[in-house]
Structure 1
Amino acid sequence: MFRPISAEIDFVALEEAELVRWREHDVFARSMQQREGAAPWVFYEGPPTANGKPGLHHVWARIYKDFFCRYQTMQGHFVQRRAGWDTHGLPVEVEVEKRLGISGKKAIEEEVGIAEFTRLCRESVHTYVGEFEKLTERIGYWVDLESAYWTYHTSYVESVWWQLQQLFNKELLYEDLKVVPYCPRCGTALSSHELGQPGVYTDEFDESCYVQLEITDTHDLPGATHLAVWTTTPWTLLSNVGVAVNPEVTYAVVNGLVMAEALVEAVCGEGVKPDDTLSGS
């Protein structure tokens, strides 16, 4: 009834044999057909950008997604799993700029032209689709690659516009102000994902500013006349309305200045001793 099991197990061979069986018997499609008409469990595939080679982080993300989809299918739900390809964003544009040996919007407009640059971006996002498809099958991630959506297709763009229209009609959209990271080279705001790209964040030496803020009520603060404040953004000082202290930190008074006790020598110089100490609480 059971096949003999070798003491020397080749896990790679076992996986590859199972993938062949799935492919030959169209197991994924059949698992979907068996659940047609059942209560749906909605899954949206967060698509990768295929202008770069897939990495280990793609494996992690896809395995996690596969866990949920398979579990919900085993629970009796109908789980549609449509693949997609992300073709928008700075990673695509920056990759094309590197290939052309240019940098910035001015160079794009003057040396290449917007229409040609857009064409090259569309071409770039197809570069490693084959590699992603091979990876997807190899790790056993069940997703419909044949009917994958592309975010640059008109149908997809119009679907996003339609959704925004529905939100607007229901008065769920509003205009407000928000502080966001900005790239002066790219001339655009940056998303959290774009901030995580290699080389985006670097440690730099820059000027900072020390400010003495006068204490208007020195009751219970013997010898203290000013708070020592350090900032790398002095242009925000005009709008500051308060100073926060940490109740778990001990503060020191040096010549009337209040600062963290642990930073006395760093601020005032080696060998300087505090005149008094205060509790942050």
Structure 2
Amino acid sequence: HRPFVDELTFDCPECGAKMRRVPEVIDCWFDSGAMPLAQWHYPFENDTLLKDGRFPADYICEAVDQTRGWFYSLHAISTLLFNRPCFKNVICLGHILDARGEKMSKARGNVVEPSAVINKYGADALRWYFFTASPPGNVRRFSEKSVAEITRRFLLTLWNVYSFFVTYANIDRFTPGSETVSLESSELDKWIISELNQLIMDVDVALDGYNPTEAGRKIESFVNDLSNWYVRRSRRRFWKSEND
């Protein structure tokens, strides 16, 4: 950066004279927009970049204000050079507002420090809140109460199911990978296995379609059924000291 780069000089390998930087300064968005190529030092290296699947990118993600910033510069440079976009899919994130729907700013004093929320509820709770609260492109009002609700309704439920399983798996000396499911399993066993297989397919479809919100909500629904239907109605079977 200027002015420090102005002090750098190099000897010309051909004539021996001092080489200095040119006086012009190119817009920083050119560097940002050239990222898909510059990261591979193209075209000086990796000249197969356009043929081997590394370009265009499968997916990029940024906030909505980058439609006139990074998204635009990426698209403009790629179009000028190759007459094609440099990415196949994009998730454009909406801005996060405070609980009253106002833009967060230090002047208003309504900025929520992520570290404070993470220290109180954990990073997973905050991540899951953003995954499932609303589709990524929506402007959203941040609510700490909703993060607390996510913790109670989903994460603690999942943890309780896991804790219940570990308790009785250890009692029965259950070894993952060595046990098989009987073809004569109870109807509840067959049902939850069917629901799990359906969940795997649904989540794959949602993520392949770049829809993390749908994927997260499907997982939440499954965990609710797992806890409130399967475990609750199978508890007496698991209390027996055998590998049911």
TM-score bin (small chain): under 0.3
Q: When the two structures are superposed, what TM-score results if normalisation uses the length of structure 2? A: 0.23
Which has more helix, going by share of residues?
Answer: 2
Q: Which has the larger radius of gyration?
A: 1
Q: When the two structures are superposed, what TM-score results if normalisation uses the length of structure 1? A: 0.21
